[in-house]
């Protein structure tokens, strides 16, 4: 019988899709709210929603960079 690969690895699998799906939905919302709303609050919401993927990316980069520098070089 095949053991679960996660047990081979000795760690529980993490859920993969919540973040990508959330960011994808935010992108869809951002694209449509500016297109259909066109002004006022809808535009602002669009800018905020569409900024999320970029903000998340930047946060991940900063975390990776600070982790590698706090370890004092290669791990």
Partner 1 sequence: MTPRVFRRWSILHTWTSLICTLFLLIICITGLPLVFRDEIGDWLSDSLPYAMSAENAPTVRLDTLTAVARQRYPGQIITSVFVDDDEPQVLIGMAPSWERYNADPGTGHALKFDAHTGAVLRDMGAPAQSGIGFLQLMLRLHVDLFAGLTGNLFLGVMGLSFVLAMISGLVLYAPFMKRLTFGTIRTGREKGRLAWLDLHNLSGVVLAVWMGVVGLTGVMNELSTPLFALWQRSDVQAMLRPWQGQPAVSPSELMSAEAAFHAAQAAVPDRLVVSAVFPGSRFGTPYHYFMWSKGRAPLTGRLFTPILVDARTGKVSAVVAMPWYLRALEVSRPLHFGDYGGTPLKILWVLFDLVTIVVLVTGLVLWFRKRSRRRLSSGTLSRAVSADPDDTLEPIGLPHTTREATR
Q: Which of 36, 40, 41, 70 binds partner 1 (CB under 8 A)?
A: 36
Taking the complex as a whole, how short is the minimal distance between the CB of residue 28 and partner 1, in angstroms?
6
Q: Map residue 29 onto helix, strand or coil.
A: helix
In sequence order, what are the residues at sequence separation of 6 or more whose Cβ sits closer than 8 angstroms to the Cβ of residue 12?
6
**Site for partner 1 contains 7 (CB under 8 A):** no
Q: Which of 40, 41, 50, 70 binds partner 1 (CB under 8 A)?
A: 50
User: In the block, which residue shows the tokens 């800018």?
Assistant: 47
**Site for partner 1 contains 65 (CB under 8 A):** yes
């Amino acid at each position: 019988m095949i053991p679960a690969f996660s047990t081979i690895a000795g760690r529980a699998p993490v859920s993969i899709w919540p973040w990508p799906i959330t960011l994808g939905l935010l992108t869809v919302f951002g694209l449509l709210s500016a297109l259909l709303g066109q002004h006022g609050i809808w535009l602002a919401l669009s800018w905020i929603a569409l900024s999320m993927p970029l903000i998340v990316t930047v946060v991940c980069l900063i975390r990776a960079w600070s982790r590698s520098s706090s370890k004092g070089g290669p791990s």
